[in-house]
Amino acid sequence: MMPFYKSTSCWRKEKSTCKEKKKRKKKRAIILPAPKMRSNMDTKQVAERSSLEALQRRSLVLEKKEAIILPAPKMRSNMDTKQAAQRSSLEALQRRSLGHKKIRADMVENSEGKKRVREGQMEVRERFQEISKEAAKLKEKTSKISKQSAANQLRLDLMFQIVKARAENDQWLRSFLLKCFLETS
């Protein structure tokens, strides 16, 4: 025969509460808080961190052979992550603005270089115009000189022919050549 206390519903309640206590103990030992990921960490860092934490927990559990509840790792507050996100976006903005500044500086240098090239081209054009003017003047002078030398050559020829006509006593030729000589001068 069964004892009275075992046959009552009271014993069943005690038995169920014992089971619940055991389950609670097991839950404490098995369930560990999962580490929360930071929003600004990349996946590689998260994987390394979570694997390190898991190894640390396992080694602690194996060493003591008891269920130990490890405290959850300190997480940054929402404000910290917002500030970190703002900081990283600020840094990106600064990098972008630095790039823009470099581009602007390059553009300014390029425009200054273009101005210098234009100024150099203007100087070259002015020099070329001066040289072409001088060349035109020199051409005029050379043409004048060549005309004068041709006229001088003609006069000399006429003078020699006049002297030759005198030597030959040809009066008609001498008077004709003298008339031509006086017209050319």
**pLDDT single digits (tens) 66-78:** 555 666 666 555 6
Q: Tell me the C-alpha distance between 139 and 152, whole Å.
A: 19
Q: Quote the tokens at residue 81.
A: 């992550």
Q: DSSP 3-state assignment of 14?
A: helix
pLDDT tens-digit map of 81-111: 666 666 777 787 788 888 888 899 999 999 9
Token readout for 14 is 């005690």
With 70 as the cut, is the pLDDT of residue 143 above it? yes
Provide the residue type at 115 as one letter.
K
The pTM assigned to this predicted structure is 0.38
